[in-house]
């Protein structure tokens, strides 16, 4: 662990912090504002974090002193009551934990060791324990508040079901706290179900008092004397308020009409320190006055240093093969590198720190490399000699600016086709348009959806482009565009989903993939599209009417008299196959042009006879599979990629990080008509064929290879020398580029072109000054979150980036809770999972282990366990490994035994499963077995799996409780709603056995859905649809209110991400009914902490009561079988 404390630093950088910013940007001459965050106050000092390090400064301001630095990320310092220690949150070895360090400097001490995120929150009033929050024992989303001794040891939970921020009353009997976190704390004017609120809990019985509010966001409570101070947006930008615990009245103490939001605050002796996004300020509780605290930072800021960095293969975003497969272009860290397949060195073709160079492509003649670059402020097409020498040719792609994708060279190396974010397909002629070529729009797709893939393909003579476009029925059709005529024609029938068009290199055929059993599959946002096995075939379209079928019946015959050797299956019409039209052809559909290939030789002219193409379309003898796409090799060779079956949560085992098994590639040869397995386990989107058809490029689990295209590599492929990839990284230049990129993404991807009324250009100017005084990448993420929060829309998320690298050290978990008995850790609860269900394995309930509640944990791998350290410290490095436990009934070790277990890397799935099963049993018990219980963790694969498993397995119950609390969304759950709509239609009577109601797989009685503030996105849509369908009653509290969708953004150059919602859902009556509102319940029920403490789940219990009341009013009525009909048949007399 690389932690150290510094007493002083001499600086290579110095920034001064001045007055609080107004709504206008600072003057050019003013020092840049500093991203000083999470301040804490003692009698003489202010502590804060900056650039992932902990600093202190005198209360009067001045030169800041670095206290804690290192390779990790450190944040959230909190002074102890006597001011002698600082607790803070540190992330080291891939784990976030609570640390303490003396104010005067020294070695920090790690207090918590759980692999979950433990975050320092405060101290107990006596200074003996650190208060922190952690999700370690909660089933989903919520965090709980714990205390742990400052000397280390057992962490004790507070008697509250959840908590996020908190502050003790001076006597320690009460706690002011916020009960839950927010997914987007910077969302301005947010008024959905996750609005923050401050509660005051009596720790004796967990009774609460709510600080008055009108759906405002109240957070960051601080207790000082008889007053609870807090931050709130109730009057506009976030300001400081006070709640008098005696009068129960709220007053504003620091107003904020037009300034930046106050981000955080902390009470200390005689005052409150707060950061107003760029300044530290001190509020004097006696004088009720506030002043800015000037802070000077000097010293080395290691995350800002420019350096040569060796890149990891996982940082490759795109790769392109050279024409003969000797080299590979890779896009990584904003640069374009040329990597040898075997011999030579890695070359940086762009050498442009702080510029995003994307999507490289190599011309078929090998002379030129093309890519998109934002070097000029907006993306343009750049061209350069493939050896990296000489000037760069820049081609403007016109107005309005956009994002561009997939530059595809024509075989003659004179033209490039590409697509853009605006759904357009373009082609630019680099040879015939002078110095300033003008792109020509080919076509525009119909829908902006994940299915948008125009996917162009050039004909061998560079005169035709085939592409796939969405139709009104949401299927795709294949279109062919003539560059000569500037016209396009659809060549498929529109009744199948036709994609991935590819011209054969001989120019006689067009291959494509088509699915004819799509059904509901194209409804990409609909859950009803899930779980459907679709399979496609590869088809070949014979482009000329004078060509024979490539799949004509074959026959082995001796050559006829007077003939030379013959080929199998050849007919007369194939004698003339050079592409020239027959003399008798009156119509020539081939476009005019020079028709030369890149090597200067005249290319075979591709002629397309559009009439009758549908009758000249044949299915290749390749098995029907879930095809992902095709590529072509040499003439007559097709590579087909088959995707794995869509996986759900249950398809993964504990700790499985490998992900899906990858794409399987088959090779088909039209000449032999044989299909051979070529590759498997190929990373999606990585497979490519060289321009000459002789080599292939692919990746497997992040490792890249170049191999021959004529047969399966079988280990003979060359692994790329990716360990030699190095680029010059200038963090500040990158931050400036990513800042502009972030605003470009909002400008170009946001579904609302007016950005909810926000002037994006002005907002970019307002926040730009913060760029120059950042100390670390975490500061940039904080800036992104705050500035995009002004858009006021859900799903505006920020994450990742080039944070300091850490080697993750795992901590194993046993699926248990502990208590302290006689100086030992005792098993207080053992989670019971399902050993046959991946992710729900409980280590202590495996056969032969036989550890029981009440047993003591005495040793781990022979090391004695005591309560001087947190129990999880003893499981460092044990996740997924055989671990020997010594357990027994007595603290002295008598009667102990040893058992071998395999600890889990995470208990998240196990705890969720346990909570779900406890709820199911509780509903069964409360309802006397009459009601089903189904939990839906999301509206994606997890919710789909759970509904199919648990809803239908409880058919026969008289009603159902559908629990969608903590539902993280995904798709629109139309499938679930449609299934719950089913009503009895008829009864199937049989001679033996019980009667069967049709439809059979249904629960017909009352349905109650439980919702809460952690149900969002698809979790907002589900109760919305439930209510629209009049399916039943909603119980709980208002949902999140974030019904928009995200996806498909370019990653930031250092691997970070930012989103701009590109899909938004409104009601059929023309109203934004859910976004920033949420779905309110029919029956509102809070999770009262006092009731939860007594073992109740108020929301679940109320849902059961509502369903039972509805059952009592409308009990199920048994169906009465009618009397069998008496047809009074008249039989003829018997034959005598």
Active site residues: 795, 1017, 1075
Q: How many helices (H) and strands (E) does the chain have?
A: 9, 75
**Residues present in the chain in total:** 1136
Distance CA 287, CA 628 (A): 69
Closest CA to 29 of 16, 40, 42: 16
The answer to whether the beta carbons of residues 484 and 592 sit under 8 Å apart is yes
Pairing status of strand 695-700 against strand 703-708: antiparallel
SS3 letters across 1089-1107: HHHHHCCCCHHHHHHHHHH
For 539, the enclosing helix (H) or strand (E) is strand 536-542
Longest dimension (CA), the chain: 125
Angle at 1006 between CA 1005 and CA 1012, to 5 degrees: 145
- Residue 616, SS3? helix
What span, in angstroms and rounded, lies between the C-alpha atoms of 34 and 1123? 86
Bridge partners, 69 (sequence order) = 4
Place of tokens 């680099």: 430
In Å, how far are 80, 184, 784, 797 from 790, measured between CA atoms? 35, 12, 11, 13
CA atoms within 13 A on the CB side of 104: 1
Query: How many CA atoms lie within 13 Å of 302's alpha carbon, on the beta-carbon side?
Result: 13
Helix H or strand E encompassing 110: strand 109-110
Is residue 341 within 8 A of residue 720, CB to CB? The reply is yes
Sheet holding 536-542, edge to edge: 497-503, 509-515, 536-542, 617-619
d(CA 243, CA 199): 11
| Residue 101 host element (H or E) | strand 95-102
If phi over 0 gives left and psi between -120 and 50 gives alpha, with beta otherwise, what is residue 969?
Answer: left
| Residue 167, CA distances (Å) to 91, 117, 229, 266 in order | 23, 20, 10, 10
Handedness of CA 1112, 1114, 1118, 1120 (dihedral sign): positive
Nearest to 187 by CA among 1046, 786, 1079: 786
What tokens appear for 796 in the block?
A: 């505006």
């Amino acid at each position: 662990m690389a932690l150290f404390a510094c007493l002083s630093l001499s600086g290579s950088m110095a920034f001064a912090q001045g007055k609080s910013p107004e709504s206008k940007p600072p003057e050019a001459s003013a020092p840049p504002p500093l991203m000083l965050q999470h301040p804490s106050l003692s009698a003489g000092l202010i502590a804060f974090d900056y650039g992932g390090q902990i600093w202190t400064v005198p209360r009067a301001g001045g030169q800041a002193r670095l206290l804690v630095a290192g390779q990790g990320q450190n944040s959230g310092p909190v002074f102890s009551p006597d001011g002698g220690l600082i607790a803070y949150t540190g992330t080291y070895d891939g784990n976030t934990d609570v640390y303490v360090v003396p104010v005067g400097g020294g070695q920090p001490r790690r207090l918590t060791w759980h692999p979950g995120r433990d975050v320092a929150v405060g101290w107990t009033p006596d200074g003996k324990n650190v208060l922190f929050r952690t999700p370690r024992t909660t089933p989903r989303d919520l965090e709980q508040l714990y205390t742990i001794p400052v000397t280390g040891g057992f962490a004790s939970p507070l008697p509250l079901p959840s908590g996020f921020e908190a502050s003790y009353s001076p006597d320690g009997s009460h706690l002011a706290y916020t009960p839950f976190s927010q997914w987007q704390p910077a969302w301005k004017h947010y008024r959905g179900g996750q609005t923050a609120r401050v509660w005051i809990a009596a720790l004796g019985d967990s009774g609460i008092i709510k600080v008055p509010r009108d759906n405002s966001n109240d957070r960051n409570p601080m207790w000082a004397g008889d007053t609870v101070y807090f931050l709130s947006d109730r009057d506009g930008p976030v300001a400081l308020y006070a709640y008098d615990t005696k009068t129960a009245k709220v007053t504003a103490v620091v107003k904020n009409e037009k300034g930046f939001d106050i981000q955080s605050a902390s009470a200390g002796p005689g005052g409150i320190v707060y950061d107003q996004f760029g300044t530290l300020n001190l509020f004097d509780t006696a004088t009720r006055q506030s002043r800015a605290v000037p802070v000077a930072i000097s010293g080395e800021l290691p995350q800002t240093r420019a350096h040569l960095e060796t890149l990891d293969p996982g940082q490759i975003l795109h790769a392109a093969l050279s024409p003969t497969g000797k080299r590979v272009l890779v896009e990584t860290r904003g640069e374009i590198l040329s990597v040898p397949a075997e011999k030579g060195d890695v070359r940086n073709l762009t050498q442009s720190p702080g510029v995003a160079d994307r999507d490289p492509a190599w011309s078929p003649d090998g002379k030129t490399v093309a890519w998109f670059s934002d070097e000029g402020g907006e993306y343009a097409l750049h061209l350069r000699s493939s050896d990296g020498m000489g000037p760069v040719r820049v081609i403007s792609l016109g107005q309005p600016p956009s994002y561009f994708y997939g530059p595809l060279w024509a075989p003659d190396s004179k033209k490039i086709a590409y697509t853009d974010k605006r759904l357009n397909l373009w082609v630019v002629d680099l040879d015939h348009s002078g110095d300033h070529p003008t792109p020509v729009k080919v076509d525009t797709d119909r829908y902006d959806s994940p299915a948008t893939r125009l996917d162009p393909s050039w004909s061998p003579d560079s005169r035709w482009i085939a592409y796939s476009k969405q139709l009104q029925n949401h299927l795709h059709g294949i279109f062919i565009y003539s560059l000569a005529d500037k016209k396009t024609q659809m060549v498929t029938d529109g009744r199948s989903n036709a994609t991935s068009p590819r011209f054969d290199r001989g120019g006689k055929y067009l291959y494509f993939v088509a699915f004819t059993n799509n059904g509901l599959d194209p409804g990409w946002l609909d859950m009803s599209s899930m779980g459907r096995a679709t399979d496609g075939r590869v088809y070949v379209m014979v482009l000329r009417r004078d060509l024979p079928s490539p799949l004509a019946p074959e026959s082995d015959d001796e050559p006829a008299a007077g003939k030379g050797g013959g080929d199998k299956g050849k007919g007369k019409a194939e004698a003339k196959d050079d592409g020239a039209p027959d003399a008798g052809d009156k119509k020539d559909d081939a476009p005019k042009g020079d028709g030369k290939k890149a090597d200067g030789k005249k290319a075979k002219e591709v002629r397309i006879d559009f009439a009758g193409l549908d009758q000249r379309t044949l299915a290749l003898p390749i098995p029907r599979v879930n095809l992902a796409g095709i590529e072509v090799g040499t003439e007559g060779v097709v590579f087909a990629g088959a995707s794995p079956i869509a996986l759900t949560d249950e398809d993964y085992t504990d700790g499985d990080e490998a992900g899906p098994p990858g794409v399987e590639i088959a090779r088909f040869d039209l000449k032999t008509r044989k299909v051979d397995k070529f590759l498997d386990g190929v990373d999606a989107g990585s497979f490519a064929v060289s321009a000459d058809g002789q080599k292939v490029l692919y990746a497997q689990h992040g490792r890249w290879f170049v191999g021959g295209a004529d047969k399966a590599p079988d280990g003979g492929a060359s692994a790329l020398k990716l360990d030699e990839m190095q680029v010059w990284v200038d963090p500040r230049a990158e931050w400036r580029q990513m800042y502009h990129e972030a605003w470009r993404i909002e400008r170009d991807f946001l579904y609302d072109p007016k950005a909810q009324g926000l002037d994006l250009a002005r907002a970019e100017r307002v926040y730009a000054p913060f760029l120059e005084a950042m100390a670390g990448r975490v500061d940039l993420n904080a800036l992104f979150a705050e500035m995009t929060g002004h858009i006021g829309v859900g799903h505006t998320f920020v994450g990742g980036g080039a944070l300091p690298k850490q080697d993750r050290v795992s901590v194993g978990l046993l699926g248990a809770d502990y208590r302290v008995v006689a100086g030992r850790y005792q098993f207080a609860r053992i989670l019971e999972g399902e050993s046959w269900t991946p992710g729900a394995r409980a280590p202590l309930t495996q056969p032969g282990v036989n550890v029981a509640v009440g047993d003591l944990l005495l040793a781990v791998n022979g090391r004695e366990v005591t309560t001087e350290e947190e129990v999880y410290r003893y499981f460092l490095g044990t996740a997924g490994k055989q671990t020997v436990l010594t357990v027994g009934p007595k603290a002295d070790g008598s009667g102990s035994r040893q058992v071998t277990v395999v600890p889990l890397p995470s208990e998240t799935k196990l705890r969720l499963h346990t909570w779900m099963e406890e709820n199911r049993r509780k509903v069964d018990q409360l309802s006397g077995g009459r009601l089903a219980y189904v939990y839906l963790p999301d509206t994606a694969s997890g919710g789909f799996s759970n509904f199919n498993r648990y809803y239908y397995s409880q058919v026969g119950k008289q009603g159902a409780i559908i629990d969608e609390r903590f539902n993280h969304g995904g798709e629109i759950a139309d499938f679930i709603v449609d299934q719950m709509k089913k009503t009895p239609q008829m009864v199937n009577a049989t001679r033996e056995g019980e009667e069967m109601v049709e439809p059979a797989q249904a629960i017909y009685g009352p349905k109650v859905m439980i919702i809460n503030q952690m149900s969002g996105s698809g979790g907002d849509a589900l109760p919305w649809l439930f209510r629209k369908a009049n399916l039943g009653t909603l119980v709980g509290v208002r949902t999140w209110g974030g019904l928009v969708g995200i996806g498909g953004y370019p990653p930031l150059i250092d691997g970070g991400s930012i989103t701009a919602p590109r899909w938004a859902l409104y009601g059929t009556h023309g109203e934004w009914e859910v976004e920033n509102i949420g779905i309110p319940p029919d029956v509102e029920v809070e999770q009262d902490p006092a009731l939860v403490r007594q073992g109740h789940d108020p929301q679940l219990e109320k849902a059961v009561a509502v369903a039972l009341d509805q059952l009592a009013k409308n009990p199920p009525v048994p169906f009465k079988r009618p009397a069998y009909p008496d047809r009074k048949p008249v039989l003829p007399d018997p034959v005598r």
